[in-house]
Amino acid sequence: MRTKAIVLREPGSLALDDVGLIPATEADVVIDVLWSGISTGTERLLWSGRMPGFPGLRYPLVPGYETVGLVAEAGAASGRNVGELVFVPGSRCFSDVSGLFGGAAHRLVAPGAKVVPLPTGLGERGVLIALAATAVHALAGGAIPDLIVGHGVLGRLLARVAVARGGAPTVWEKNPVRMAGAEGYVVVDPATDARCDYASIYDVSGDGSLLDTLIARLARGGEIVLAGFYEAPLSFVFPPAFMREATIRIAAEFREPDLAETMALVADGRLSLDGLISHRSPVSAAATAYETAFADPACVKMILDWRSCP
C-alpha cells in the first residue's frame, strides 16, 4: 500500500508526498484518517531543526501524534472493528521514511491495542485527546496547580483538568490575544501578579529562561512541574531554590492509563474539549497551515482535514 503523508524532508521543507506503508498484520488495523493536529511544541522544533537529540529522529520524516480516523480494515487479533472512530497516537508504519511521530498521513497502519475508540459525536475534537492525556499525566502524583504558565492549548487543557479535580488555578499569559477563553479559572499578565506563595507551578510554555522567575514565586516547599518541551539546557540559580526547598519535577509523555483517565473525564462531562480548535485547513494547504500554527498567536489549535485528500 501507499498513501499521502506530510513529509518533512529536512528542516524548513515540508510537502504532501506519496509514501509506502508496511503490510498490516493480524494484530493491526488500517485507518482512513479524517483529521490530524499540528503540534506547536515538538513539530515546531522538527520544522526548525532545533529538536534536541531524540530516539528515531532522522529526516525525511512524517510528524504527528494527534490523529482521528475510521478503521477501514481490522486484523483478526486487533481487537477492533471496521467502521470504529479511533484516536491514533502516532504510527511507525512507513516503509521509506521515518515516522516521528508518524500520524500525519491519509492512511495509517497501527496495532489495534494502541488505538483508542472514540464516541462518534466527538468528531474532530478527538485530535485533542493526546494533549488532554499529557495534561492528565502532568498532574499524576502531583498537587493541583495553583499557577499555570502559558494559555496555549496545553495550558487550557491543564487548567480544565485542574478545575475538573476541584482546583481554581491562575494562568499566566503575556500575549493579550491568548488571554480569552478561560473556563473556571483566571488568566492574568504575570506583570500584574505580585504573588510569591504559589505551592504548585506548572510550566507549559517551553521557555526554560523562566525557571528563576518561577522559583522566586514559590512558597517554601513548593514544586515546579516542567510540562513543556525545552530545546535548550535548563539551569537555575541555586540559593533561591535552596531557601525555598524547591522541588522540580519533569512530566514526560502520556501513558495508556492517562488515556483511559482522559476518556473517562470526557465521557462523564467533567472535561470539555469544546472551543479549543481555532483553525482548520484542507491538507492540500498544509504548508500554509503549518506556518499559521507556528507563527499566528491567535491560532490555539490547527487541524488538517484529510477528507478531501487527493
Using one digit for the tens of pLDDT, what is the confidence trace for 86-136?
999 999 999 999 887 899 999 999 999 999 999 999 999 999 999 999 999
Integer-rounded Cα Rg, in Å, for the chain is: 20
**Residue environment code for 271-309, b if the CB has 16+ CB neighbours within 10 A, otherwise e:** bebeebbbeebebbebeebbebbbeeeebbbbbbbbeeb
* Res 182: pLDDT: 96
Q: Give the separation between CA 284 and CA 282, rounded to whole angstroms.
A: 5
DSSP 79-131: ---TT-EEEE-----BSSSEESS---BSEEEEEGGG-EE--GGGGGGGGGHHH
The answer to whether the CB of 161 falls within 8 A of the CB of 263 is no
* Res 231: pLDDT: 85
Tell me how many degrees the CA angle 176-181-186 measures, rounded to the nearest 5: 80
Q: Give the separation between CA 39 and CA 290, rounded to whole angstroms.
A: 9
Of 66, 63, 65, the residue nearest 13 (C-alpha): 63
What mean pLDDT value characterizes the chain? Answer: 95
Tell me how many degrees the CA angle 202-140-117 measures, rounded to the nearest 5: 110
**Ordered domains of the chain (ranges, CATH):** 2-117+278-305 (3.90.180.10), 132-250 (3.40.50.720)
* Res 51: pLDDT: 84
Quote the strand ranges of the chain, DSSP E. 2-10, 13-20, 28-37, 61-62, 67-74, 85-88, 98-99, 107-111, 116-117, 147-149, 170-172, 186-188, 198-203, 218-226, 247-250, 279-282, 302-305
* Res 50: pLDDT: 84
pLDDT less than 70: residues of the chain? none
256 Cβ partners below 8 Å, 6+ apart?
Answer: none
Of 61, 71, 47, the residue nearest 94 (C-alpha): 61
* Res 54: pLDDT: 73
* Res 275: pLDDT: 96
Q: What are phi and psi of 150, to 5 degrees?
A: 115, 125
The answer to whether the CB of 125 falls within 8 A of the CB of 132 is no
Q: Give the separation between CA 152 and CA 175, rounded to whole angstroms.
A: 10
Each residue of 212-226: pLDDT tens digit? 999 999 999 999 999
* Res 130: pLDDT: 95
Strands 218-226 and 247-250: parallel
* Res 121: pLDDT: 93
* Res 243: pLDDT: 97
* Res 202: pLDDT: 98
Q: Prior bond to 242 cis, omega within 30?
A: no
The answer to whether the CB of 112 falls within 8 A of the CB of 63 is no
CA distances to 5, 28, 92, 225 from 108, in Å = 9, 10, 9, 34
Helix (H) or strand (E) segment spanning residue 264:
helix 256-267
The answer to whether the CB of 136 falls within 8 A of the CB of 265 is yes
